[in-house]
A and B are shown apart, each in its own frame.
Chain A
């Protein structure tokens, strides 16, 4: 015991995964180079503090200091204080909701002088720690509905507060935890319908409610059948609902003169079906079916009513972004402007790019937010396809490395946490780079390590270095160390 402690003190970086650290430094450095190019303002002095890249130097210093502190701290603390961190994170989110400053319509910032901090970035770390702590409990079983509900609560509580802050984009990041849940044994026939429902929600404007309802019925019946088996019974169930709905519709047409629409008929029969299925599940005691039914009810409540949610919950700019992404609305000088200009900047980069500080689209301000959310445009335009591939390659390597680091842990806490970090990074890259090339609707979330911004750089640094620290600790169980 003493011996091992001594060893830790002798070599601070023993066991630290050098690959992950090198990738991290490369990404931050590339990010800095691009921030210089994207935010250089020729109207003020090159080394003035008003230049964003000078500020970024300070943020980088802060991030590196935090990284060092994390490596110095005992790895047990993260497990021990996970729930406290979570409670702190939730309090911060509530505080910012009450006292925060509104920027771009989102009340998500604390302001101290000229420094702004976005608590949501830190809430992600806290949520990742809490999820890992909860799921690493000896008694925890993802197969048990009650336990799953606890995980869902931990994830959706911050998400709900973030949505209230009107910062939906940052909140949705937490949905990426389904990636972790799948790794930890969540039935894929829960994951797949949820992903489909998420896609359907975004695309719900393209279909009629009747069609959506029918689609949901089919998806969930199929997934239930995949989980429980007994296909024949599920098909019969589906057919019974459809036929009785048609019968009801016909009846109302000829007997009551068309008081019920097709959608209403199907909805009534669906409710009847759900009740019947619930009674059946209760009597046969099939827990999986309750889960499917629960998700189904939530989906039915949200997806066909997406129009209403869309109108009442989403803000104008969010609506416009989603509509323009789906191609329902086109306005090249308005909502589409960002994405169009972003694609133009990246597309004009070619194979080798235009060179450092030579990107005309960046230099002449055609791309908005070019040093923050649209930093990938700077990479694409000035460093071309080769530069873009290097950045994407590094990000991909870091995510895979984190997954690998998770897999080699004996301790579930470290593994789950590593996967949480990988999931968060993956989601950020997918949405951020996806929006710059028009694959995703515009959501204001940063590109990890590259985007300008103190909160996000420090938060991602903490996120990754905690994982590195957990990985670097002697590969013994944490609990035994405490003992």
Chain B
């Protein structure tokens, strides 16, 4: 072996040593300095982001009574990776939580595909169960504090709305506000005031060891945030009155809306049939929801703000007001009525009553013929040149009362109703029509469609003699001095205040003067109730029964509209409900229990809703 050969061999061996260390150093440098995935993997190993869910804001009624409370509950979560090889007692877990083994296995299968992520096993685990779960300490399982809704009075299903887990769309539109597993208000107050009620979730970053055991907070909680509870909402609703309204409407299909005229605050908003809001929370939610969806009477449909009902005779009030404003009618003007209004082949029937009648008595008696005259005088007014122009003017007036458009209340999903326009008739009759063609509008029939909220708003407008406040459902938000500005502004109609007096007096006569009108059954001594019945014909069956009312006549405290589908005469069913509610609201007493009996025993089985 020559010296030169030895030298080469030494150099080669040195090169091998350097080479091996260089490869190792490059590899270490690569994973430490250039490949950033290991840092996030390390965080994923150690850190657990625990959401601290904010308790959702509670909802109270105008008198401070709870409508919706937040109750503590827990979400049971599982992190598949932390279960460990030895497993756990599945039977005991299922028994404790009250889920089936199949469901648990399904959850575990899902969890397996994302082994590091916490997967929901069961929601709405009550505190007692959570405590027992903690005792057993199932590996990989942990519970997360949530709140669930609780309804002490079990009223106002459609009014309050309900919560649902957010879907993909909500998360996208929420722009980071929502994450999977969050709840969002879906209807009613819950949806309308979502951003106040939900609060802000906090986050707690924890460190855990290889077995999933919590070892303490990350960086001493430097990056943790505390949850901010949702705001408490004070509703304009009077819970006792709402409960009474729902009780009276039980078994009937329709809606009751009551408004405080001086403020526009909604005192009652009852859509019937309603549902127990407790049914739409917890684990039975899905089944209950499907059952409600399948119900032919459609309890999930909020009739109070969405239905389009023909207003019937209650619309005669608007007709009279427009006539007075247009100058085609004076309160003293009398028209004859011979069981109706007859022109050629066209006729509008009426019930027997004294004839002729002036405006006040015509309102009280709800004379059809009288308002046919008034309506034709309005739209056939020579100064507009044509009936079409006349109808445009008329439509403008009607819309100023809040009909045919959304009232812009704070209630999501409020319907606009319909008020037919000139274009509508031009299209339907190919341009050839006149005041007789659309005569049914004069008594609130035909193409008119109003929501019960709009009708109650009319009652409030007449109670206020010419203006209304936009009806709203929320009185105050915790931490805020006022609600939206628009609810403090008087909304005037196109009819001057002075014209409202004779109409209001007519409504008073109908109730308080025996024999002078259709509404005398609503009479309560000393309350000065003013009212107007309505009996709306409809193509689906029996007439709809409606009653529009406010009380007392001077300085009114409550304006109300009751609508009962297929209820027959306005005086039969809608009237006693309205009268009882007004009496209860104003005096806190019920002096006519027999009326309640009558309502409860009312024979009611509309064919339209037959199964």
Contacts and interface: CB of A to CB of B under 8 A. Distances in A.
Contacts of A182: 9, 12-13
Given A183-B10, A360-B46, A364-B207, A346 B17 contact: no
Interface stretch (B18-26, B125-133, B511-519): B18-26
B210 A364 contact: yes
A348 B41 contact: yes
Interface in A115-159: none
A352 B1 CA distance: 48
A238 interface: no
Interface centre among A351, A360, A384 (most CB of B within 10 A): A360
A182 B17 CA distance: 14
A380 interface: yes
Given A343-B31, A360-B42, A439 B115 contact: no
Contacts of A389: 25, 28-29
A366 B46 contact: yes
A333 B115 contact: yes
A380 B30 CA distance: 12
A111 B42 CA distance: 37
B39 A348 contact: yes
Given A182-B9, A343-B38, A403 B45 contact: no
Interface residues of B, number: 39
Given A333-B81, A347-B37, A365 B211 contact: yes
B285 interface: no
Given A179-B13, A182-B9, A437-B28, A364 B209 contact: yes
B114 to A, nearest CB: 13
Contacts of B135: none
Nearest to B37: A347
B137 interface: no
Interface stretch (A50-58, A207-215, A392-400): A392-400
Given A351-B32, A380-B32, A396 B46 contact: no
A392 B42 contact: no
B1 A392 contact: no
A257 interface: no
B398 to A, nearest CB: 71
Given A350-B33, A437-B27, A437-B28, A365 B209 contact: yes
Contact of A434 (B10, B18, B24, B38): B24
A441 interface: no
B20 to A, nearest CB: 5
Interface in A345-363: 345-351, 360-361, 363
Interface in B337-380: none
Contacts of B10: 183, 403, 407
B481 interface: no
Nearest to A359: B42
B215 interface: yes
B35 interface: yes
A433 interface: yes
Contacts of A429: 20-21, 24
Given A351-B33, A385-B33, A392 B21 contact: yes
A347 B17 contact: no
A361 B210 CA distance: 8
Contacts of A388: 25, 28, 32
Contacts of B41: 344, 347-348
A399 B14 CA distance: 9
Nearest to A341: B45
A378 B31 CA distance: 15
A350 B39 contact: yes
A384 B24 CA distance: 14
Nearest to A436: B28
Secondary structure type dominating chain A contacts: helix
Nearest to A42: B215
Nearest to A179: B13
Contacts of B208: 364
B32 A347 contact: yes
B42 A361 contact: yes
Nearest to B38: A347
A179 B15 CA distance: 12
Interface in A414-458: 422, 426, 429-430, 433-434, 437-439
A407 B207 CA distance: 53
Nearest to B18: A396
Nearest to A361: B42
A370 B210 CA distance: 13
B32 A344 contact: no
A346 B9 CA distance: 35
A185 interface: yes
A403 B13 contact: yes
A434 B26 CA distance: 11
Contacts of A400: 14, 17
Contacts of B115: 333
Interface centre among A183, A344, A346 (most CB of B within 10 A): A344
Nearest to A337: B210
Contacts of B43: 348
Given A388-B32, A400-B14, A407-B10, A347 B20 contact: no
B175 interface: no
A356 B91 CA distance: 44
Contacts of B25: 388-389, 392
A388 B31 CA distance: 12
B611 interface: no
A185 B5 contact: yes
B38 A426 contact: no
Contacts of A341: 45
Nearest to A365: B210
Contacts of B209: 363-366
B90 to A, nearest CB: 20
B45 A385 contact: no
A460 to B, nearest CB: 17
Given A351-B32, A396-B18, A439-B24, 7 more contacts: A346-B31, A385-B28, A385-B29, A388-B28, A426-B17, A439-B23, A439-B27
Closest 6 CB pairs of A and B: A347-B38, A348-B42, A364-B209, A347-B31, A365-B210, A360-B46
